[in-house]
Amino acid sequence: MSSDRALSLLSRAPIFQNAREDDLLPLAALGHFSSLSRGQHLFQAGQPIESLYVVASGSVRVYRLARGGRRELTLHVEGPRQLVAGVAAFQSRAVYPAHAQALQTPTEMLALPVDAVREEVFNTPTLAQAVIGYFARRQAELLGRLDSLVFSELGERLAAYLLDHAADAPHALPTNSELAALLGTVPEIVSRKLGEFYRLGLIVLERRTVRVCDAAELARLAGSLEEGTTRKAGR
């Protein structure tokens, strides 16, 4: 039965990890699964908000457009058990503030009606607490994005990305366009910078799979942010 699957997914989602299964039952009963293929949209910015989603399998990219679609910025990429549109669901605004698109070919999503979720969260203190913690974490992440985008230049952001994703194991790179959206730039520049890192012997590229050779040097390139935050405070 589909609501069994919904329940088991919900109870393992980080956002609901403190809830008793009983409290999740009504939500699980209201949820329904859907499946998307790569590139399909879960929702688009400006559509009225009806559901929030939990990723069951695959992954979803949440992004915003600008300059008439010429540029895009990826806000999050969410994998299994993660929430999509979780924050938007609790805003008074009635429309999604961003686009969401499946990245893999089957990407299965559990849709939950926002009203039911809101009611359930507000009536279950442990859930409310979990949601508050989740939002706070989310905001911390966003602040990090914000100042890396404002303060550091592309080389630093790319180096940080590589360290994050390919430090230990080799890593299959997304397309340059996706990388560009993640880093807040355009594909050409990503191509150039990757080429530069390769020529410097910092990374090895083979059929879109990247391996870090000189992690220390990459860290140095990525690191100008760290220095700033290490400064000792004083009044």
Partner DNA sequence: CGTCAACTTGATTTTGCTCAACTACGGTGG
Partner DNA sequence: CCACCGTAGTTGAGCAAAATCAAGTTGACG
- For 77-117, the DSSP string reads EE-TT-EESTTGGGSS--B-SSEEEE-SSSEEEEEEEHHHH
155: contact with DNA by CB under 7 A: yes
The binding track of 24-63 with respect to DNA, each residue x by CB under 7 A or -, is ----------------------------------------
Helix then strand count (H, E) for the chain reads 9, 11
The number of beta carbons lying within 10 Å of the beta carbon of residue 201 is 10
Give how far the C-alpha of residue 79 lies from the chain's centroid of Cα atoms, to the nearest Å.
8
100 or 173, CB closer to DNA?
Answer: 173
Q: Which of 1, 68, 70, 92 binds DNA (CB under 7 A)?
A: 70
List residues near a second copy by CB under 8 A. 39-41, 44-47, 64-69, 71, 73, 75, 87-88, 90-93, 97-99, 121-123, 125, 128-129, 131-133, 135-140, 142-143, 145-147, 149-152, 184, 224-225, 227-229, 231-235
Query: Cβ(109)–Cβ(55) under 8 Å?
Result: yes
Q: Which of 47, 117, 54 lies closest to 84 in space, CA to CA?
A: 54
93 binds DNA, rule: CB under 7 A: no
The binding site for DNA (CB under 7 A) comprises 67, 70-71, 153-155, 173, 175-177, 184-192, 194-195, 205, 207-208
